[in-house]
Amino acid sequence: MEKFVLPHHHGEGQTEEYLQKQLDRPETFQNVAETFRLLDDTSRVRIFWLLCHCEECVINISAMVDMSSPAVSHHLRQLKAGGLIVSRREGKEVYYRAADTEESRLLHQTIEQIMEISCPAR
């Protein structure tokens, strides 16, 4: 295979091949972009962050974030479709919480590191 050569040469090209190999797989970057797209809305970040600390129903979440239930439901659907939260039905009530996944935990940490606050629950 032909060695990839950049238009500008700034020295040893040890990592150039590795970088190019990664760049040639757009789908891996697409996954990252889709994950961050889930957090491109302040309300969704607030709801996701809340659900990292407790399990709640739509009505209580709406009260806590001071938004209408339909608006909260809309965000919950997106977060759930993206795999960041899960739901559990108990009788007539549906409870939501952050998914127990590495991705979800990492985003929780990242959000708090960005906010520079300490976690009250963990």
| Residue, CB closest to Zn ion | 119
Closest approach of Zn ion to the CB of residue 6, in Å: 42
Closest approach of Zn ion to the CB of residue 117, in Å: 8
Q: Which is nearer to Zn ion, 43 or 73 (CB)?
A: 43
In this structure, what token pair is assigned to residue 27?
């789908």
In this structure, what token pair is assigned to residue 79?
């977060």
Contacts with Zn ion, residue ranges (CB under 5 A): 119
Closest approach of Zn ion to the CB of residue 120, in Å: 7
CB-based contact 93:57 (threshold 8 Å): yes
- How buried is 84 (Cβ within 10 angstroms: 0-12 exposed, 13-18 middle, 19+ buried)? buried
List, in order, residues 6 or more apart from 40 with CB less than 8 Å away.
none
Q: Which is nearer to Zn ion, 71 or 119 (CB)?
A: 119
Closest approach of Zn ion to the CB of residue 90, in Å: 24
Q: Which is nearer to Zn ion, 38 or 52 (CB)?
A: 52
Query: Phi and psi dihedrals of 25, rounded to 5?
Result: -115, 75
Q: Which is nearer to Zn ion, 22 or 101 (CB)?
A: 101
